[in-house]
Structures are given as structure tokens and as C-alpha cells.
Amino acid sequence: MPARNKEQEAEILQWIEEVTGDKLPNQPYEDVLRDGIILCNLINKIAPGSVKKIQSKGTNFQLMENIQRFQAALKKYGVPEEEIFQTADLFERRNIPQVTLCIYALGRITQKHPEYNGPRLGPKMADKNERTFTEEQLRASEGQVNLQMGFNKGASQSGHGGFGNTRHM
């Protein structure tokens, strides 16, 4: 399991406060997020109406539903499924770094949504870098022999110890 990064966790809490405008309780990171209420408020600020019903108190099961609604809202918003944490990662504190990763992913995805103009989290995503070449520029290399073509005589993978082989020492 990856190690926890306290700076990232602090950055996330700060970002959540900036986005939601709410002062978060002075508790450990995972305790602040554990019941899912703050996460639901966060995604509703970013994409209004994402989570219709938020349980403010109740049984563990009801509070876990907040987390599940948050996760469903993230998928809809465009966070890649492999970056979304499991409910138990947060609720049972199984994998807090995955929670951090997931919230960073959300912060990153907000940059793809022009309607979101709130605070940023993490590095700026690269914009498309389109280049246009003239036909002439594209054709300029056609007559040349690529250096990688036909100059691999004698090169083989013998002794390379490909996939699944043991290393011979």
C-alpha cells in the first residue's frame, strides 16, 4: 500500500474548504471525510445536483451510502473508474492514499469542465498541443532511408532473458 502523504492530505482539505466555502472540523484527514457528507457537498459544489440525498447522520450503512453516491457522481463527472477508491478504503480506513489519489483525480478532471471555475487542485493539465505541417514538410522525409531500417544485422535478443526466464548469473 502506498504511504500517506500528509502534505497532499492538507492540500486536499484546504481545497475542499475553498471549493465548498465551509470550514472543516479540526480532525484527522480520514475522520473529516469518513461519513461522506463533505465529499457529497464537494461534488455538489463542483457539479451542482450530483448527489441528491445526503445523510447527515445515521447508521454506518446510511453514512456509507454518502460515499457510494459520491463515487457514482465522480464516475458521471468523468473520473476514471480505476482512480475511484472503494468505500472501505475510506470508511474502514483501509487505503487512505487511494482516497487522496481519487480526490486529486477529481481536482484534475475539473480542468476539463469549462463550466467549473473554482479553485484548482494539483498541477494544471496539459492543453492540447496541436501542430500543423504543410504537405511539403510532411513529404520532405520520404526519400530518405530511416536509420532504423535495415541496420540491425547481427542484432538478436539472445541472452536477453526475455519474459519469464530466470537470470543466469
Residue 4 within a domain:
no
Cell numbers describing residue 161: 532473458
Residue 43 within a domain:
yes
How confident is residue 136, by pLDDT bands cut at 50, 70 and 90?
confident
pLDDT tens for each residue of 1-41: 678 999 999 999 999 999 999 999 999 999 999 999 999 99
Residue 55 within a domain:
yes
Residue 133 within a domain:
no
Q: What whole-number distance in Å separates Cα of residue 104 and Cα of residue 9?
A: 10
How confident is residue 138, by pLDDT bands cut at 50, 70 and 90?
low
**CATH code, domain carrying 101:** 1.10.418.10
Burial of residue 118 (CB within 10 Å: 0-12, 13-18, 19+) is: middle
Residue 65 within a domain:
yes
Residue 165 within a domain:
no
Residue 82 within a domain:
yes
CA dihedral 39, 44, 45, 49 (to 10 degrees): 180
Tally of domains within the chain: 1
Q: Where are the alpha helices (DSSP H) in 21-150?
A: 29-33, 37-46, 60-77, 87-91, 96-109, 135-139
pTM: 0.73
| Torsion region of 82: left, alpha or beta (phi above 0 gives left; psi -120 to 50 gives alpha) | alpha
Inform me whether the pLDDT recorded for 143 exceeds 60: yes
Q: Do residues 2 and 97 touch, judged by C-beta distance below 8 A? A: yes
Q: Which range marks the domain in which residue 93 is found? A: 27-112
Inform me whether the pLDDT recorded for 71 exceeds 90: yes
pLDDT of residue 41: 97
